[in-house]
Amino acid sequence: MNYGYVGKCARINLSTGDITIADTPEDLMENYLGGNGFGAKILWDETGPETDPLSPENRLIVATGPICGTFVPNAGRVEFVFKSPLTGIYGDSNSGGFLGPELKFAGFDFLVILGKASSPVYLHVEDGRIGLKDASHLWGEDAVKTEELIRKELGDEDVKCATIGPAGENLVRYACINVSVQRQAGRSGGGAVMGSKNLKAIAVRGHGPVCIADPKRFYEVAVRLKKLIMEDEFYPAVSAYGTPGIVSLMNIIGRFPTKNFQRGDFPYADEINAEALRENHFVKDIACYACPIACDKIYGVFKGPYAGAVTRSFEYETLGSYGAGIWNRDLPSIIALGDLCDRLGLDSISAGRAVGFAMELFEKGIITKKDTGGLDLTWGNVESAMTLTKMIAKREGFGAVLAEGVRRASRAIGKGAEYYAMEVKGQEIAAQDGRAQQSMGLAHVTSNRGADHLKAFPTIDETGYPSQAVRRYGEQYLPELVDPQATKYKAWVVKDGEDFAAVVDSSGNCKSGGTFVLAQVYWSEMAEAISAATGRNLTSDDLKEIGERIYNLQRCYNVLCGISSKDDTLPKRLLEEPSPSGKAKGQVARIHEMLPEYYALRGWDPETGRPKKETLKRLGLEFCIDRGAAS
């Protein structure tokens, strides 16, 4: 009998059509927990530095975790792991919605997809059975519409899908995976991996149970966590506004990247903040599976040139990338651009950043209308941003250059364009300026998937609320811990956040729910919930070790792919150009004050940035030493 886990996994070879179903390996459950951990281990075992991310040899691992599909609050996440076509290293992306739980109700903990179909197909998973279906008629269709069409075709309103749009089909390196209904596993280019495999969608329907080892205890824990979350002081705000709620705050602290990170404040932020959204565009609160918060909203545009645009999962990030980032104060157009990205199947962070990057090159005269095919890329030119976004998805003209990501694009363009490529390890930086929050700068640098705020997700010191910090870490770290500009303790905060996030992303729980954003659920609560669900008695320390193991394994994979301490850095602009904005005025990102401590805490060699042998041995990762990833 399986508890927490449903006990089966499947391997689908799209080249041969072979589909095999097996028991979920004990080693994976014991040492890697689920989602993120499962994916990291499978990617390590089956691919390597030689794997071309867009070749049939790459893997797409779709994985759930032991509490996914239960009623632990926010336990509805699904993880996609693959070698990233954007960065060429370890890649993953996580999504809410309903796909993860549905996969478990269908009887699977995870799927491993490899090979390449000879013509477009979609995967149909239903109650322990898996088949391939023709998707020729869906190829070219937008990512959101595709899910609707598949539901119709299968005659079942409750089918949940992962789909790609034209950007994924055209192998745009930051194409996203659209997840039931209009949510996204946005980052690192999973959509291009699906496109390279001729895989248009994964459709899932299940009617089975997720069984619980200790029902009484599990119920008690889940109900208690739900209450904690709903009584959190920030619950009303997060419920009402979701992530756009932080626009004004980030603007005040100078952490809202504007004009491709030239500055960290946007003078028109009030026109694109959460209040403006709620007042003029709000349609409805919608929730992901098992979520009492419902940070997701439907926003619509009701009049003007963008009337008819509707978005879901419209986040702070899109207001950053397609708003402040490109000097655009027209909120309806940002909603329309978000909707456009979702439908084309583009990560709206990377796509918006690519447009902002191009606008800055245009401003600096590095590119001209000759390069852009006549497009006027003056800051704030919304129509050009629309056109360029479509050109990216279709890889048309100058769009094809940007479809490669800003790192490759800047190298192709030359003439000093590299300076304006705001990326780390090839992935574009989200709306999180490390000059305004030192821990965030470090987080981008040490993230295993290239620039990213969500790997360490340092939420506690960003706003500096001591009550949250004391609850999570204790009195002893104040006042430095909550000072966004202090570097003391931040290496530890980042390391702890990375390990905890690896566990959350492996469990099936959500980082925007009670674990980071509302910060009520921490190691011991996760340990309680997972233990009661699975019957495996896990302590906080056990989970910390699993988190560390996953993080080190991903780092070792990156080491094999050529990553070293030299790559652990930020764009020069953030290290050398003092921020002109808000509370961050005069500040640069001081990652070098934190990196040595970070390496020491991690047990990594400070020279090479590789994990030390004793670290890997302690974590049971001897096989990484054997493959030459240790220092």
Contact set for another protein, span 226-245 (CB under 8 A): 226, 230
Which of positions 45-104 make contact with another protein (CB under 8 A)? 69-71, 98, 101
Chain centroid, CA 116 distance in Å: 25
The least CB distance from residue 294 to another protein, in Å, is 4
Residue from 47, 180, 258, 410 that binds another protein (CB under 8 A)? 180
Distance of CA 457 to the CA centre of its chain: 11
Pick from 294, 386, 400, 470: which binds another protein (CB under 8 A)? 294
Whose Cβ is closer to another protein: residue 154's or residue 211's?
A: 211
Q: Does the footprint of another protein cover residue 183 (CB under 8 A)?
A: no
Structure tokens at 21: 């179903």
Distance in angstroms (rounded) separating the CA atoms of residues 184 and 158: 18
Q: Under the criterion CB under 8 A, does residue 290 sit at the interface with another protein?
A: yes
Task: Tell me which H or E stretch contains 93.
Answer: strand 90-95
**Contacting another protein (CB under 8 A), which of 32, 105, 110, 477?**
105
- How many residues of this chain interact with another protein, rule: CB under 8 A? 39
Say how far apart CA 151 and CA 145 lie, in whole Å: 10
> Does 400 help bind another protein (rule: CB under 8 A)?
no
- Give the closest residue to 621 by CA, choosing from 546, 518, 565, 570: 546
Which one among 193, 212, 546, 616 touches another protein, defined by CB under 8 A?
212
Q: Residue 5 in contact with residue 507, Cβ under 8 Å? A: no
Q: Are 153 and 283 in contact (CB under 8 A)?
A: no
Q: Which residues pair with 285 in a beta bridge?
A: 297
User: Measured from the CB of residue 179, what is the shortest distance to another protein in angstroms?
Assistant: 12
- Per DSSP (E only), the strands in 516-623 are none
Nearest distance from C-beta of residue 430 to another protein, angstroms:
26
**Contact in structure between 392 and 403 (CB atoms under 8 Å):** yes
Residues whose CB is less than 8 angstroms from the CB of residue 275 and which lie 6 or more positions away in sequence, other chains included = 248
Question: Which of 7, 49, 128, 208 is the binder for another protein (CB under 8 A)?
Answer: 208
Q: Which residues contact 554 (CB under 8 A, 6 or more apart)?
A: 40, 90, 448
Which of positions 585-614 make contact with another protein (CB under 8 A)? none
Q: Which is nearer to another protein, 352 or 513 (CB)?
A: 513
Cα distance between residue 434 and residue 616, in whole Å? 30
Task: Give whichever of 69 and 323 is closer to another protein, judged by the CB atom.
Answer: 69
Least CB distance from residue 214 to another protein, whole Å?
Answer: 11
Structure tokens at 584: 């961050």
> Which segment (219-227, 260-268, 325-333, 523-531) binds another protein by CB under 8 A?
219-227
Among 219, 271, 479, 600, binds another protein (CB under 8 A): 219
Minimum Å distance from CB 206 to another protein?
8
Strands 199-205 and 160-163: antiparallel
Query: How many other β-carbons are positioned within 10 Å of the β-carbon of residue 259?
Result: 17
Strand 60-63: give its sheet, edge to edge: 19-23, 8-13, 110-114, 60-63, 78-83, 90-95
**What is d(CA 20, CA 10) in angstroms, rounded to the nearest whole number?**
6
CB atoms within 10 A of CB 479: 11
Which amino acid, residue 301? V
Q: Is 209 in the site for another protein (CB under 8 A)?
A: yes
Per residue, what are the HEC states of 230-276?
HCCCCHHHHHHHCHHHHHHHHHHCCCCCECCCCECCCCCHHHCCHHH
Applying CB under 8 A, which part among 185-193, 222-230, 365-373, 484-492 lies near another protein?
222-230
Which of 25, 128, 292, 464: binder of another protein (CB under 8 A)? 292
Using CB under 8 A as the binding rule, whether residue 285 contacts another protein is answered as yes
Q: Which of 62, 89, 210, 445 binds another protein (CB under 8 A)?
A: 210
Q: Exactly one of 286, 386, 470, 478 binds another protein (CB under 8 A); which one?
A: 286
Task: Among 158, 480, 541, 607, indicate the residue that binds another protein (CB under 8 A).
Answer: 158
Q: 285 vs 371, which CB is nearer to another protein?
A: 285
Q: Which of residues 133-152 bind another protein (CB under 8 A)?
A: 147-148, 151
CB 278, min distance to another protein, A: 15
Choose the stretch contacting another protein; rule: CB under 8 A; options: 30-38, 291-299, 347-355, 444-452.
291-299
Q: For residue 308, state whether it binds another protein (rule: CB under 8 A).
A: no
Q: Which residue, 231 or 376, is less far from another protein as judged by CB?
A: 231
Residue from 154, 228, 249, 298 that binds another protein (CB under 8 A)? 298
Q: How far apart are the first and last CA of the chain?
A: 42
What is the nearest approach in angstroms of another protein to the Cβ of residue 566? 46
Distances in Å between the Cα of 121 and the Cα atoms of 170, 182, 294, 590, 600 are 15, 21, 33, 48, 47
Which residues of this protein are in contact with another protein, per CB under 8 A?
69-71, 98, 101, 105, 147-148, 151, 157-158, 180-181, 206-212, 215, 219, 223, 226, 230, 283-294, 298, 312
